[in-house]
Amino acid sequence: MKLHPFRALHPTPESAGRVASPPYDVVNTDEARAMAEGNADSFLHVVRPEIDLPDGTDLYSDPVYAMARSNLDGLVERGALVEDDAPALWLYRQTMGAQQQVGFFGVSEVADYVAGRIKKHEFTRPDKEDDRTRHVDTLRAHAGPVFLTCRDADGGLSAIQERLIAKYGAPYIDIRAQYEVRHELWRIDDAADLAAVASVFDGVDAFYIADGHHRAASAMRARDLARARTPDASADAAFERFATVVFPAPQLKILAYNRVLFDLNGHSSEGLLDAIAEDFLVGEPGAGADPSQRHAFGIYLDGVWRTLIAKNHVVNEADPVACLDVSILQDRVLGPLLGIDDPRTSKRIAFVGGIRGSAELSRRVDERGAGCAFSMWPTSVQELLAVADSGEVMPPKSTWFEPKLASGLLIHRFE
Q: Say what the pLDDT of residue 178 is.
A: 84
Confidence of residue 73 (pLDDT cuts 50, 70, 90): very high
Q: Which of 314, 252, 235 is nearest to 277 (CA)?
A: 314
- Provide the pLDDT for residue 94: 98
DSSP output for 322-357: TTSHHHHHIIIIITTTT--S-TTT-SSEEEEEGGG-
The stretch 360-382 carries a mean pLDDT of: 97
With a cut of 90, say whether residue 396 has pLDDT above it.
Answer: no
Whether pLDDT at 308 is above 90: yes
**Mean pLDDT within 177-196:** 95
Instruction: Give the mean pLDDT of 57-81.
Output: 97
SS3 content of the chain, % helix, strand, coil (to 5): 35, 25, 40
**pLDDT confidence of residue 153:** 80
Mean pLDDT of 91-97: 97
Tell me the C-alpha distance between 305 and 370, whole Å.
15
Query: Per-residue pLDDT averaged across 170-178, rounded?
Result: 95
Residue 324: how many other CB atoms lie within 10 Å: 26
Instruction: Give the pLDDT confidence score for residue 355 in this predicted structure.
Output: 83
Which band of pLDDT confidence, cut at 50, 70 and 90, is reported for residue 335? very high
Q: Give me the amino acid identity at 318.
A: A
**pLDDT at residue 209 is higher than 90:** yes
Q: Which residues of 329-357 are buried (b: 16+ CB within 10 A; e: fewer)?
A: bbbbbbeebbbbeebeeeeebbebbbbeb
What band does 310 get if pLDDT is binned at 50, 70 and 90? very high
For residue range 26-65, what is the model confidence (pLDDT) as tens digits?
A: 899 999 999 999 999 999 999 999 999 999 999 999 999 9
Dihedral sign of CA atoms 214, 6, 81, 62 in order? negative
Given a cut of 90, whether residue 415 has pLDDT beyond it is no
DSSP 8-state code for residue 69: H
Q: What is the mean pLDDT of the chain?
A: 96
Q: Of all residues in the chain, what percent carry a pLDDT higher than 90?
A: 94
Task: Report d(CA 292, CA 298) in Å as an integer.
Answer: 9
Q: What was the pLDDT predicted at 354?
A: 82
The CA distance from 274 to 57, in Å, is 47
Q: What is the C-alpha R_g of the chain?
A: 22
